[in-house]
Chain A
Amino acid sequence: MIKLRYCIQGIAVFVTLLLVGCTTSVNVEGTIPTPLVQKIPANIGVHYSNEFKTFQYKEVMRDTGTWKINLGSQNLGFFQKLLTTMFNSIEEVPEPPFKLGEMQHLDGVIVPRIVKYGFLTPSISGLNFYSASIQYQILLYNRGGEVIGDWNIVGYGKSEAGIFGADDALGEASMLAIRDGGARIAIELSTQPEVIEWLGTLRSRGDQKLK
């Protein structure tokens, strides 16, 4: 009886080791640059959902096993620095919808979301690199809680594939995808017609206060 128990335990350990061995865990790491852009003259609230803060992507592939990509902390750090640099002031706020009058001290609220993440390995694409893409959704609310802007931005990154180190290559490709998406947000957000119009209303409101 004891022998049978040891045998079952042994098989369980073996199976666990086998499953762990087939899982590639990718941690996305890299430098977080400070964007060199003109500040948008607005005081902004930002809501990062728990899903955004701890985003993890998991995919099971027949030939390469299970892939787990932990984007959350790097992506959050990137957005925190990006938005802090882009606007006059930033503060974290609770999830919309907002109570009446709750956001009166702010000019608007931004809610970033990861809509989709995907990646390709050399065995799928037939190319000698790993590639990753992230689709972001950026929602802009006015202080009344209405959605005044909704943009979808796709970031793309790729990294050379070595014989070993698939996790490093995919981690780098994912980091480059975050950078690419961030670059587009930093450059293009202030040129969106909705943002230009919103900034116009903020300016005219400021002028009225001065009068």
Chain B
Amino acid sequence: MSFFKPSCRFLVVNFAVISLVGCVTSRIEQSREAITGINPDEAIVILSRASYNEHETDDSFTSCLSGILSKGPTPIRLISEAEFKDSLYPWFEPRTAPTSADDLAKLFAQPGVQARINESKLRYLAWIEGDTITVDSGGSMSCTLTTFGGGCFGMSYWEQDSKYEATIWDLENLTSVGQISAVANGTSYLAGLIIPIPILARPDNAACKGLASQLRAFVLGDQAPSQEAL
């Protein structure tokens, strides 16, 4: 005979799962400079802005954004970063890429660039900047292993801040159409109660989901379904 009734066991499992996911707070802000919209055959490309310091957007973040945008009830056609950079080489390498939408006209004057963009039906380019950093950490935990057994005791924590910004350029009108920023914060814990129990907060994941959702709505413009429908 089981110790818990099935309904009680369900509640315990749910409680355990929920308690192992740390809390994350996130905020999404948007600034629009022009009306947007996209045809089903048009595409967008997501590029991480390269820098030569340590704080650079991880590939995993842009992959997360692409994964979300290309799925769902209103998927958007995406061109991969590698394919885009190869097809427009050498114009989107870290040191040659345009730094502002004002440089787009000059870039499009280069032979073949406009034709290549038109051929791939690329409508928007989203530059992603930002990263996730650990802002605080503390606590202590020690683990012991003896011939009679072992265990971990104590607790440690680390707080992470995720700050990302997407700048969207319209490649048809050669202008910047807006920015979306996502800020998320979360604290993860590792509690040692004989076995180490991680309670992980994923602010980068929350920022990715928030930014992707807002970016989809931004690009679709009037075509975007209501939040309830999503």
- Chain A residues in the interface with B (C-beta under 8 A): 31, 33-38, 127-129, 156, 158, 160, 176, 179-180, 182-184, 186-187
Chain A residues contacting B82 (CB-CB under 8 Å) are 31
Indicate if the CB atoms of B95 and A184 lie closer than 8 Å.
Answer: yes
For residue B91, which residue of chain A has the nearest CB? Answer: A36
Whether the Cβ atoms of B95 and A36 lie closer than 8 Å is: no
Q: Are B89 and A35 in contact (CB under 8 A)?
A: yes
Asked if A186 meets B58 with Cβ closer than 8 Å, knowing A36-B110, A156-B52, the reply is: no
User: Would you call the interface of chain B mostly helix, strand, loop, or mixed?
Assistant: loop
Asked if B72 is at the interface of the complex by the 8 Å CB criterion, the answer is no
Query: Is B120 positioned at the interface, with any CB of A under 8 Å from its CB?
Result: no
Q: Is the CB of A128 within 8 A of B54?
A: yes
Question: A31-B82, A36-B110, A156-B52 given as contacts; is B93 within 8 A of A180 (CB)?
Answer: yes
Report whether B94 and A180 are in contact in the complex, using a CB–CB cutoff of 8 Å. yes
Question: Is B220 interfacial (CB 8 A cutoff)?
Answer: no
B90 touches A186 (CB 8 A): yes
Q: Is B111 an interface position by the 8 A CB rule?
A: yes
Q: How far is the CA of A187 from the CA of B88 in the complex (A)?
A: 13
Closest Cβ–Cβ distance, residue B157 to chain A (whole Å)? 21
A127 and B52 contact, Cβ closer than 8 Å, known pairs A33-B89, A183-B93: no
Query: Which 8 pairs from chain A and chain B are nearest by CB?
Result: A183-B90, A33-B89, A33-B86, A183-B93, A186-B90, A36-B112, A38-B111, A127-B54
Q: How far is the CA of A33 from the CA of B89 in the complex (A)?
A: 7
A-B contact count (CB 8 A): 52
Size bracket, chain B contacts: 20 to 34
Query: CB < 8 Å: which of A128, A129, A158, A179 contacts B93?
Result: A179
| B113 in contact (CB, < 8 A) | yes
Residues in A whose Cβ lies below 8 Å from that of B91? 36
Instruction: Using CB atoms, name the residue of chain B closest to A128.
Output: B54
A and B contact pairs by CB, cutoff 8 A, 7 listed: A35-B90, A36-B111, A37-B90, A37-B111, A160-B58, A180-B93, A184-B95
CB within 8 A of A179: which of B52, B89, B110, B116?
Answer: B89
Chain A residues contacting B59 (CB-CB under 8 Å) are 160
In the complex, the answer to whether B113 meets A36 with C-beta atoms within 8 Å is yes
Which residues of chain B are within 8 angstroms of A31 by Cβ–Cβ distance?
A: 82, 86
Is B87 close to A, CB under 8 A? yes
Which residues of B are found within 8 Å of A128, using beta-carbon distances? 54
Nearest CB in chain A to that of B88: its residue = A36
B2 lies within 8 A of chain A by Cβ: no
Q: Which of A127, A128, A158 has the most CB of B within 10 A?
A: A158
Give CA–CA (A196, B86) in the complex, Å.
28
Residues of A within 8 A of B87 (CB): 33, 36
Inter-chain contact A183/B95, CB cutoff 8 Å = yes
- Chain B 35-53 interface 0/1 with A at a Cβ cutoff of 8 Å (1 = within): 0000000000000000010
Query: Chain B residues near A156 (CB, 8 Å)?
Result: 52, 95
* Contact across chains for B54 and A180 when beta carbons are under 8 A apart: no
1/0 per residue, CB under 8 A from A, across B59-91: the answer is 100000000000000000000001001111111
Minimum Cβ distance to chain B for residue A188 (Å): 10
Q: Which residues of B contact A34 (CB under 8 A)?
A: 89
Chain A residues with Cβ below 8 Å from B52 are 156, 158
Chain A nearest CB: distance from B88 CB in Å? Answer: 6
Residues in B with CB closer than 8 Å to A186 are 89-90
